Structure 1
Amino acid sequence: MKKKTIAIDMDGVLADIEAQLIEHYNKANGTIVSRESIQGLAEEEAFSDRTLLRGVLNTDNFFRTLPVMPDAVESLQRLQENFEIFIVSAATEFPVSLAEKVAWLGEYFPFIKWENIILCGSKRIINTDYMIDDHCKNLDYCMGKPIMFTAFHNVNQTHHLRVNNWKEAVAYLEETL
């Protein structure tokens, strides 16, 4: 029997980009942005200096040194028993991130085959049974079942099924088997 497929985003879902982004942005801008202060804000509101933000995101090793989300590694190992997993990242906007993301995945998720890593510009072409992402701009085009992973910028959005962490994501997906 063919396994169902899951497209899983990297930043904000597998990798804790929030913590690193806040740290780098504050250092570069001399601000005191915190996780609590940006809850419910759009990214443009939370990080208003867009030029500075793009500079932070294009810094060498920014993506390579992101912390892993709690329970992400164990959750993907467990899900891989019943699902085919594709890591899908809209990475081409930040070309410096491409090699860094591949290396990061190799370190933390070595059980994901290279052919199941998709670094793209738009996720509209992704056709999997499920998509786990933190951005509605990706989930709104999902051809399968969209699953929104909670992040500061989506806490007020309610038009997709929401999971708050990897334990909830695994529980939901295993119920669908």
Structure 2
Amino acid sequence: MADAYQAHLDIYEKDFGVRFTKEDCLGREFWHCVPVDHQASVKDHAWQVGYFRNLKVIPDSQEVLAELSSRHDVYIASAAMQFPNSLREKSDWLDEHFPFIPWQKRILCGHKHVLKGDVLIDDRAYNLEKFEGRRLLFTSPHNTGLTDFERVSSWKEIASLFL
């Protein structure tokens, strides 16, 4: 839904004047791609006010989730407790970009291992490991080398599976 990886690339370019593409970073967290003396800065991005509020929407996610939510019982689960600004900013971001998913169907949590359901779509493998339903790994540069889960690479691909 939200392109956090691209946000790291954009902030880094703004701060250091060096442009990376997602293809430059395949199989790695972005902070592993930058010089050692810049790594702490990248790790601090998510602590900045506005980081989560200003994330770009992944193409087709709004349309596909609107259609999915009209046919299925869709909940949005997001790990929102690690960073102080995350909870409010993620809630406001969802209000703006996904208003058709009401607050009652939003789970802003710590670890996602508590989730139960039929399907979980996530870009972090550790969020999928203990989930008992269908587990879909959404492709992001940091997870391209993982093969333990069924993979999806776009919201149109998700639409083809469930609509």
**Taking structure 1 as the reference length, what is the TM-score of the superposition?**
0.84
Q: Which residue of 2 aligns with 1:109?
A: 98
**1:88 aligned to 2:77?**
yes
Q: Which residue of 1 aligns with 2:42?
A: 53
RMSD: 1.7
Q: Identify which of 140, 144, 150 aligns with 1:161.
A: 150
Aligned-partner Cα distance in 2 for 1:136–1:165: 17
C-alpha displacement of 1:158? 1.2
Q: Which residue of 2 aligns with 1:10?
A: none
Amino acid at match of 2:10: E
Structure 1 residue ranges without an equivalent (≥5):
1-13
Q: Identify which of 14, 17, 23 aligns with 2:4.
A: 17
Aligned-partner Cα distance in 1 for 2:33–2:122: 19
Higher helix share: 2
- State the SS of the aligned residue for 1:124: helix
C-alpha displacement of 1:30? 4.9
Q: Deviations over 1:123-144 (max 9, x none)?
A: 0000011000001110111121
Contact 1:28/1:52, CA 8 A, preserved across alignment:
no
- State the SS of the aligned residue for 2:151: strand
C-alpha displacement of 1:29? 4.4
Contact 2:80/2:110, CA 8 A, preserved across alignment:
yes
Aligned ranges for residues 97-176 of structure 1 at < 5 Å?
Answer: 97-174=86-163
Q: Which residue of 2 aligns with 1:4?
A: none
Contact 2:12/2:42, CA 8 A, preserved across alignment:
yes
Aligned length: 161
Q: Deviations over 1:28-60 (max 9, x none)?
A: 345433212101224552356553123211111
Task: Could you list the structure 1 runs, at least 4 aligned residues long, displaced by more than 6 angstroms after superposition.
Answer: none
Percent identity, aligned pairs only?
35
